[in-house]
Amino acid sequence: MSPSTKIRPALTVATFASLAALVSACTTVGPNFQRPDAPATADYAAKGDAAPAAARLDAAPAAVQGPWWEALGSPKLDAVIRQALVDSPTLAEADATLRQSQAALAQARGAAGPQVDGTAGFNRERANLQAFGFTSFGDVTLSNPTFSLYSVGGSVGYDLDLFGGRKRRIESQAARVEAQARRSDAAYLSLTSNVALQALTIATLNAQIDAVRQMIAADEANIGLVRRANALGGSTATAKVSAQSQLEADRALLPPLEGQLAAARHALALLVGKAPADWTAPDFTLTELNLQGSAPVALPSTLVRKRPDILAAEADLHAATAEIGVATADLYPDIKLTASLTQGALKPGDIFSYDASGWNLGAGLTAPIFNGGALKARRQAAREEATAASARYQQTVLSAFAQVADALSALAADEAGLAAYDRSRAQADESLRLARVAFDRGGGTMLEVLDAQRRTHEIQSAQVRAQGQRLVDVVRLFAATGADWRSTR
């Protein structure tokens, strides 16, 4: 039966009731949701981009036996993330919101079924006989009687949902539950990646602090060289001042790094759901955080079927599509069936007797006649919302592709940079060694030693930051590809 079928006013309520089962079984107005097709694009990189060797699309994915962060091979990180999954208020909020949407779905399903209510009552009444003209009976003057009335009963109501409005409402709510479930997954993925990123920040700062301390030790060694040279008469006061100045300059680098380290630990405590005073972050190091194998990258057609925010946007589109059916069904007539039974008596002992019973059966038809175009406007608004939801879905997919492409490009740059730093570090270390040997033998100046040492320190610090940045980009790649945060073991 088509939604455009005309319903003649001459048809009786009984006729509608006799057709209700057939109509409700075959008619659900509004468009049926069609899942968006997988994208036709087969890659993420733009023309000219270089994919890193550790994350090429044609590389075999790493076999991670468990949640994604175990690919970094750090038991300490695993322990911190699992604690965050238990104690984070952010996840508690996401889980509660999901349960709220599930309860709303149960409410919609319950409202679509028969509604049964029970009633019971006790009333003490005084009848006003004079209101009905009964003032006397013969010579006897009538007085208003006082009595008690006991009643018990029940009622049943059922909406036939002729055009599927309630079915569409349930469909819409189920899609909203799916969307919230995917947003909950996104919250878990976001939390685990943020914890990992904060751990990498701590590890990188620890490495930078270690590098500065090594430079301070080297500065102190330079001062020892100057003292030995002075004892032999081969150095000047200027060399001593330069060496001492370099030592103090390098010591000044420590306090800012230590302040950043404290802030990073506090931020990690917040992610775990603890106050900084109640929880101490582990001292992560770059040597213990290492990618075990290659970072797996899903093809675009797979990404849209696994990334939580894309799945949430798809479910939002489903819900918006179903709402068109809800608004369309409101344009058509609706029939509700009702039945009630009431037992009432003046004495409790008579309440269940047949003579104390009363009942009714009925069917009510409601059909829109004139509403100033409000119902049609509501349907048009639902259609526009579905169009907007479709655009949001497409934008979410494009943003996901861009994030994966950014992560891949960043990893390519990281690998090239690290290789360059390795070569520069080797050259700088050799230059520093030669400058120290020359100064120790009286053939060079302290200024040459300090210049060589400064270059070594700059390269070492940059190398440490690049190592940390590579791991940061690996984590971002895992998050961008919708890596699984749940254990599969």
- What does the pLDDT look like over 244-296, one tens digit per residue? 888 888 899 999 999 999 999 999 999 999 999 999 999 999 988 888 766 66
Burial grade of 360 (CB within 10 A; 0-12, 13-18, 19 or more): exposed
- CATH code linked to domain 13-115+162-336+374-480: 1.20.1600.10
Q: Residue 133 has what pLDDT?
A: 77
pLDDT bracket for residue 237 (50, 70, 90): low
Q: Residue 389 has what pLDDT?
A: 96
Query: Angle 165-231/237-251 helices, nearest 10 degrees?
Result: 160
Q: Is the pLDDT of residue 486 over 90?
A: no
**What are 295-331's pLDDT values in tens digits?**
667 778 888 888 999 999 999 999 999 999 999 999 9
In order of 151, 244, 438, 445, 448, the CA distances from 248 in angstroms are 95, 6, 24, 20, 18
Q: Residue 135 has what pLDDT?
A: 77
Residue type, 193: S
Residues in the chain: 489
**What are 334-377's pLDDT values in tens digits?**
999 999 999 988 888 888 888 888 989 999 999 999 999 999 99
More confident residue, 349 or 66: 349
pLDDT bracket for residue 215 (50, 70, 90): confident
Distance, CA of 89 to CA of 97 (rounded, Å): 12
Q: Give the residue among 474, 479, 475, 481 at the shortest CA–CA distance from 299.
A: 481
Contact by Cβ (8 Å): 322, 166: no
Query: Angle 75-87/165-231 helices, nearest 10 degrees?
Result: 140
Contact by Cβ (8 Å): 191, 380: no
Q: Residue 450 has what pLDDT?
A: 77
The whole-chain average pLDDT of the chain stands at 84
Q: φ and ψ at 100, to 5 degrees? A: -65, -45
Percent of the chain with pLDDT over 90: 49
**What are 365-403's pLDDT values in tens digits?**
999 999 999 999 999 999 999 999 999 999 999 999 999
Q: Residue 19 has what pLDDT?
A: 44
**What are 28-64's pLDDT values in tens digits?**
899 999 999 888 887 777 766 665 544 443 333 444 4
Return the structure tokens found at 184.
């909950």
**What are 3-36's pLDDT values in tens digits?**
444 334 333 344 444 444 444 455 889 999 999 9
Task: Indicate if the alpha-carbon torsion angle 221, 223, 228, 233 is positive or negative.
Answer: positive
Distance, CA of 66 to CA of 487 (rounded, Å): 5
Q: Is the pLDDT of residue 489 over 60?
A: no
Q: Residue 433 has what pLDDT?
A: 86
Contact residues for 303 (Cβ-Cβ < 8 A; gap 6+): 310, 400, 401, 404, 481, 482
Q: Residue 396 has what pLDDT?
A: 95
Greatest Cα pair distance, the chain, in angstroms, is: 148
Contact by Cβ (8 Å): 381, 344: no
Mean pLDDT of the region 434-462: 80
Q: Residue 445 has what pLDDT?
A: 73
